[in-house]
């Protein structure tokens, strides 16, 4: 069996972690307003609060997965340069994009209840089209 180099494994894992963050945001965004129906009827708060809760929960999962990635970087002794700090603005863009997509898909899924399974299937198909798999 060929041993992975010290650079390949952390790069592969960071791609999978970011994809999991994006995919979970899309899938849970489709069901976000449906799951919080009772809460939104009885709590006088804007609907964006539910989206922010969803994004915050996904960020927490991302942070926990980031700790695993940091451990892999230490184990494989991967050198990270100053360019790695560009991941922070990229994460901000992914979070903002995920928020508005969660609102859009959530609104559509509230009206058409078949959208969450369709969204899940499309996200799964998109995973196989990304370079993470290849």
Phi and psi torsions of 7, nearest 5° = -105, -30
* Neighbouring residues of 87: CB distance < 8 A, sequence distance ≥ 6: none
Yes or no: say if 76 and 46 are a contact pair by the CB < 8 Å rule.
Answer: no
Q: How far apart are CA 24 and CA 87, in angstroms?
A: 19
Radius of gyration of the chain (CA): 17
**134 residues of the chain, pLDDT tens digit each:** 445 555 677 778 888 899 999 999 999 999 988 888 888 888 888 888 999 999 999 999 999 999 998 898 888 887 788 888 899 999 999 999 999 999 999 999 999 999 999 999 999 999 888 776 66
Q: Is the pTM of this model over 0.75?
A: yes
């Amino acid at each position: 069996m060929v041993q992975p180099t010290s650079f390949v494994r952390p790069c592969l894992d960071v791609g999978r972690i970011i994809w999991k963050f994006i995919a979970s945001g899309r899938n849970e965004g489709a069901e976000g307003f449906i799951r919080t129906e009772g809460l939104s009827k009885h709590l006088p708060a804007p609907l964006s609060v539910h989206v922010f809760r969803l994004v915050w929960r996904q960020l927490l999962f991302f942070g926990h997965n980031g700790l695993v990635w940091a451990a892999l970087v230490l184990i494989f002794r991967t050198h990270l340069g100053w360019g790695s700090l560009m991941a922070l603005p990229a994460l901000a863009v992914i979070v903002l994009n995920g928020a508005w997509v969660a609102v859009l898909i959530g609104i559509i899924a509230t009206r058409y209840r078949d959208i969450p399974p369709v969204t899940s299937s499309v996200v799964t198909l998109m995973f196989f089209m990304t370079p993470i798999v290849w």
